[in-house]
């Protein structure tokens, strides 16, 4: 069954995403990342190259021929096909398509109402699907 973790109160969703993706990669997890648009996907791509000065997080965009062989794949909201079904990071405001195929969904939520309101809707949806839910305050680094 899919479990869902929400990281609320995020000052910079891309910085937190890079941190959590790095931890997932180091523990051997395979990751799919949903970005709301191509511009954010490109920013995430650049940040994954520079986030850890001595670390390397292998990643490609979802259309790459190497996507099935690469542990981190970045796509745009609306993607329905992913080469991995382990972890899904959602940086978009909408409900990720086919999220039930993943072992874990990570929702990264900023501080603005434009992000909070859709996050509440996603929380309700996951709850109605009986997915196990956990919430964390990303700034204070505590479980809620």
- For the chain, domain boundaries: 3-143
Question: pLDDT tens across 47-87, in order?
Answer: 998 877 777 899 999 999 999 999 999 999 988 889 999 99
Burial of 97 (0-12, 13-18, 19+ CB in 10 A): middle
Tell which CATH classification among 3.40.50.300, 3.30.70.890, 3.40.50.10110, 3.30.70.100 matches the domain 3-143: 3.40.50.10110
The whole-model pTM stands at 0.94
Q: Which pLDDT does position 80 carry in this prediction?
A: 83
Q: Which pLDDT does position 52 carry in this prediction?
A: 75
What Rg value do the Cα atoms of the chain yield, rounded?
A: 14
Q: Residue 62's CB: how many other CB atoms inside 10 A?
A: 18
């Amino acid at each position: 069954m899919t479990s869902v973790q929400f990281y609320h109160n995020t000052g910079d969703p891309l910085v937190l995403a890079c941190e959590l993706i790095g931890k997932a990669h180091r523990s051997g997890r395979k990751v799919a990342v949903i970005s709301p648009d191509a511009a954010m996907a490109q920013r995430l791509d650049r940040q994954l190259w520079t986030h850890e000065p001595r670390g390397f997080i292998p990643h490609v965009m979802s259309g790459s021929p190497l996507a099935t062989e690469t542990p981190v794949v970045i796509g745009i909201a609306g993607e329905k096909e992913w080469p991995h079904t382990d972890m899904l990071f959602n940086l978009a405001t909408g409900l990720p398509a086919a999220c039930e195929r993943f072992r874990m969904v990570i929702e990264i939520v900023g501080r603005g109402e434009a992000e909070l309101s859709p996050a509440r809707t996603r929380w309700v949806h996951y709850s109605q699907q009986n997915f196990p839910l956990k919430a964390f305050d990303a700034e204070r680094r505590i479980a809620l």
